[in-house]
Amino acid sequence: MAAKIAYDDIEIGTELPAKAFPVTRATLVQYAGASGDFNPIHWNEKFALEVGLPDVIAHGMFTMAEAIRVVTDWAGDPGAVVEYGVRFTKPVVVPNDDKGATIEVSAKVAAKLDDKQVRVDLLAKSNDQKVLGMSRAVVRLT
């Protein structure tokens, strides 16, 4: 399915609206229930510290899913995303407090491709550190 955005109206360098996604320990428990990933590094602080992590960390797939929301919201149709990939560079550390963590995502159109598709490059950061590298999506426009 194609996005509701016209290919001819998009220019390389077009910035998508940036978003910030809060993540709390409760969010991680909810995601674990939905995904079936109950690895204790995502909910047990003692275990996470014992295996050398700075604290409980968000699921990588959760971080990836939050980041692509910037693109799907912009495109107006999640089915318009025909390709998406990332490299995990740093974990999203989620402290056990009232604030938790925030995943900040920005994106821009990096290339216009054939067949009315564009490549969107994403930047995902948490605590001022890049958490996803080589984060790119290909989106089919109208």
Q: What is the pLDDT of residue 4?
A: 83
Nearest-angstrom CA–CA distance, 93 and 88 = 13
Tell the residue number behind the tokens 């996803």, with chain if given.
132
Is the sign of the CA dihedral 30, 1, 133, 86 positive or negative? positive
Classify burial at 34, counting beta carbons within 10 Å of its beta carbon; exposed 0-12, middle 13-18, buried 19 or more.
exposed
What pLDDT was estimated at residue 138? Answer: 98
| pLDDT tens, residue by residue, 1-21 | 778 899 999 999 999 999 999
How distant, in Å, are the alpha carbons of 16, 63, 64, 109 from that of 102?
18, 10, 13, 23
Please state, in angstroms and rounded to a whole number, the distance separating the CA atoms of residues 52 and 49. Answer: 5
Residue 77: predicted pLDDT: 94
Q: What DSSP designation does 36 have? A: -
| Angle CA 6–78–132, to nearest 5 | 105
Q: What pLDDT was estimated at residue 2?
A: 77
- Name the strands in the sheet holding 101-113, side by side, starting at the edge strand that comes first in the sequence: 15-23, 101-113, 117-126, 129-140, 81-88
Position 17 scores a pLDDT of: 98
Query: Which domains, ranges and CATH numbers included, belong to the chain?
Result: 7-21+59-140 (3.10.129.10)
**Rounded Cα gap, residues 70 and 107, in angstroms:** 7
Residues (pLDDT < 70) of the chain are: none
